[in-house]
Chain A
Amino acid sequence: MKKTMLKVVVCAVLVAALGWMAGGRTHLFAATHLFTTAGAAGPVEIKIDNYSFTPADITVAAGTTVTWVNRDDVPHTVRNNDGTLKSKALDTDDKFSMTFDKPGTYEYFCSIHPKMTAKVVVK
Chain B
Amino acid sequence: MADFIKDNLNADGVDRRGFLKCMAWAGTGTFCLIQGGVLKSFALSDIANRGLAAAKGELSFVQLSDSHIGFDKAANPDVTATLDAAIAKVNALETPPEFVLHTGDLSHLSKPSEFDTLDQRLKSLRTDKVFYVPGEHDVLNDDGAQYRERYGKGTKGDGWYSFDQKGVHFIGLVNVMNLKAGGLGTLGKDQLEFVEDDVKHLKSSTPIVVFAHIPLWSVYPEWGWGTDDGAQALGYLKRFGSVSVLNGHIHQIMQKVEGNVTFHTAMSTAFPQPQPGTAPSPGPMKVPADKLRALLGVTDVNFVRGKNTLAVVDSTLA
Q: Per a CB cutoff under 8 Å, which of B109, B224, B280 touches A50?
A: B280
- CB neighbours of A92 from chain B (8 A): 73
Tally A residues with Cβ within 8 Å of B: 23
Within 8 A of A (CB), among B47-98: 71, 73-75
Chain B residues with Cβ below 8 Å from A73 are 71, 73-75, 283-284
- Shortest beta-carbon distance, A47 to chain B, in Å? 13
With CB as the reference atom, state the residue of chain A lying closest to B185. Answer: A114
- Which residues of B from 135 to 164 have beta carbons under 8 Å from A? 136-137, 140-141
| B140 with A75: CB separation less than 8 A | yes
* Most chain A CB within a 10 A radius of its CB, from B74, B110, B137, B224: B224
Kindly state whether residue A9 has any CB partner on chain B within 8 Å: no
A75 touches B182 (CB 8 A): no
Residues of A within 8 A of B141 (CB): 88-89
With known contacts A114-B224, A115-B222, A75–B108 Cβ distance under 8 A: yes
In the complex, which residues of chain B have a beta carbon less than 8 angstroms from the beta carbon of A117? Answer: 181-182
Q: How large is the interface on B (under 10, 10 to 19, 20 to 34, 35 or more residues)?
A: 20 to 34
| Inter-chain contact A51/B182, CB cutoff 8 Å | no
- Inter-chain CA distance A67–B180, complex, in Å, is 23
Question: What are the nearest 9 A-B pairs in CB distance?
Answer: A109-B181, A51-B281, A89-B140, A50-B281, A114-B179, A115-B224, A73-B73, A112-B136, A50-B280
A residues adjacent to B (C-beta < 8 A): 50-52, 72-75, 77, 80-81, 88-89, 91-92, 107-109, 111-115, 117
**Chain B residues proximal to chain A, CB less than 8 Å:** 71, 73-75, 108-110, 136-137, 140-141, 179-184, 221-224, 280-284
